[in-house]
Structure 1
Amino acid sequence: MSRMTRPQANALLVDGVQADVRDSAEVLSLLERQFDAALRHQTAELTSLAGLLAPLLDAMDARRQQRVSLVRALLGEEATMAQFIATLIEPAQGALAAAWADLEHTVQACKAASTRNGSLLAEQYTVMQRVLHGEEGIYAPR
């Protein structure tokens, strides 16, 4: 494999962030659908959504790993995306900064939605366990 030029690395970084912005919006939409399906106890829909989420999340993680490697190769082992963005000239700098901020915001929303969904599913599981197996000491004297 030949070495990548700085313009090629820059283009790959920009393209990766744009792809992550697109995919993170899709992940957030799927997480909202997952919450609705969990509220309605729609197991088949939950399974289907998991199948849609997994490849998106895998692709985003692969791009994240690539992004970290590229930024470190360009700017050093402790480099950050903010430092990389600062090296660009306008209008590329402003466009990537805006896309990066959008990605960070959407990822935080995805994390919150994922936590909410996990909490709902855990609570539903706990309730079902109590229904199926009863609670210890429920009939014990107080």
Structure 2
Amino acid sequence: MNAPSRLTRQQAQSLLADGVQADVRDSAEVLALLERQFEAALRHRSGELTQLAGLLSPLLDAMEARRQQRVSLVRALLGPDGTMAQYIAAQPAPAQADLKAAWSDLERTVQACKEATARNGGLLAEQYGVMQRVLHGEDGIYAPR
């Protein structure tokens, strides 16, 4: 990844647009994997859960790297307080509409991923709690009254 200061304005803008598109694609894949993770957790398929974690990790790492690059590029183009919303608003009409639509799609998919992650985490925590009670009993369940 090139440092933002070594890129032309056009190269930086192209990287931004391409990165958003890549995140739209990868976030949709993450969401699909999270749905598979939920099904695997419901059916107690630990091997599949491990496999899914292995598939999720590189996607999430790539998205985080692109997010960091995006922040750097926007700041290089707009100054240290620049935001993606400001960058989108500053684009000419055809590019602005495309980027705005992609960014909105990304935001919706990321929100769905957050909700799916919370749901999956809740299910796994509940299953863990059940297993702990099965193995160790509940506190006070056998205490004299």
User: What is the TM-score of this pair, normalised by structure 2?
Assistant: 0.95
Distance 1:128 1:76 in 2: 52
Cα deviation, 1:5-58, whole Å, max 9, x if unaligned, reads 100000000000000000000000000000000000000000000000000000
1:106 aligns with 2:104: no
Distance 1:3 1:77 in 2: 17
Q: Counterpart amino acid of 1:9?
A: A
State how far apart, in whole Å, the 2-side matches of 1:141 and 1:8 are. 74
Opposite residue 121 of structure 2, the aligned amino acid is G
Distance 2:124 2:62 in 1: 25
> What residue number does 2:118 align with?
115
For residues 56 and 20 of structure 1, what CA distance do their matches in structure 2 show? 9
Distance 2:77 2:109 in 1: 26
Q: Which runs of 5+ in 2 are unaligned?
A: none
Equivalent-residue separation in structure 1 for 2:103 and 2:42 (angstroms): 33
Q: After superposition, where does 1:119-130 map in structure 2 within 5 Å?
A: 119-130=122-133
Alpha-carbon shift at residue 117 of structure 1 (Å): 0.2
| 1:79 paired to 2:82 | yes
| Aligned-CA RMSD value | 1.1
Provide the identity percentage.
77
Give the aligned partner of residue 55 of structure 1: 58
Query: Which ranges in structure 1 are unaligned for 5 or more consecutive residues?
Result: none
Counterparts of 2:132 and 2:112, CA distance in 1? 30
In structure 2, C-alpha distance between the alignment counterparts of 1:141 and 1:108, rounded to whole Å? 49
- 1:140 offset after TM fit, Å? 1.6
The one of 2, 18, 33 aligned to 1:15: 18
SS at match of 1:91: helix
Residue 141 of structure 1, CA deviation: 3.3
